[in-house]
Amino acid sequence: MKVFNKLAVAAVGVVLGFSGIQGQANAASLEMITNGEFEQTEFADKWTATSNVPGWETTRGDGKIELWNQGKINSPAIGSDGLGTGKHLETNYFGIQTISQTFTLGQNIDTTALFSFDAWSRKGGTGTVSVIGSLSGNILNQVFSPNGNDWTQNLFELSVMAGEEITVAFKGNQQDSSTSPHIDQVSFSVNELPESVPEPASMLGLLAVGAFGTASTLKRKKKQEA
């Protein structure tokens, strides 16, 4: 009886411990965008045109992307997210071009993605944002009209497919760069699905059966020895 009690307590302890592990197996949010705040390029001037913008590409022939620093001209606030993080993208650098980023989704993800960005325009220009999947095709293709007085957030819930390549792209719709939208705080997040874990109740049943079986074997052995 003492042996059985010890085994039963051990079984319950293992299950309780396993239950704790299961509670930790929650879905984790994965950020897919690199340099979504455009802060990874160092420059001291109020603006710059550079090909050194980690994560981002342009259709412009010389590869240059226009970035603004804090408080250039009459930009509202200093970027969309506060002091010290005021760098942001101007979509058109002397003409219309497309600024994009491409990444690959994992196989073990939820098929719902959250895509968001902040936008602003000096003179009420419009822009186009698109999201294209290598398996899903055109996921999003939408014209947006930023508020001329302040940054506005744009949020989309999108359906994606596991393992596909995603391209996020922005462009201004007017040749005049003074009307092209500015972009900041770009985010594309998906949830990584937790690994499949047996339910604690089923584990308790298995361990209990094992405990009974071990106890019975020990009991028979003691009888034989007697």
- Mapped onto helix, strand or coil, the DSSP state of residue 4 is helix
The reported pLDDT for the residue numbered 193 is: 94
SS (H, E, C) 188-221: EEEEECCCCCCCHHHHHHHHHHHHHHHHHHHHHH
| DSSP helix/strand/coil, 52 | coil
CA gap 221, 216 in Å, rounded: 9
Q: Is the pLDDT of residue 217 over 70?
A: no
Residue type for 165, please? Answer: E
Structural domains in the chain, sorted by start: 2-26+204-225 (no CATH), 28-192 (2.60.120.260)
What are the pLDDT digits (tens) for 55-110? Answer: 999 999 999 999 998 767 666 656 666 645 679 999 999 999 999 999 999 999 99
Quick count: other Cβ atoms within 10 Å of Cβ 74?
Answer: 6
Per DSSP (E only), the strands in 95-221 are 98-104, 109-120, 127-133, 137-144, 152-159, 165-172, 182-192
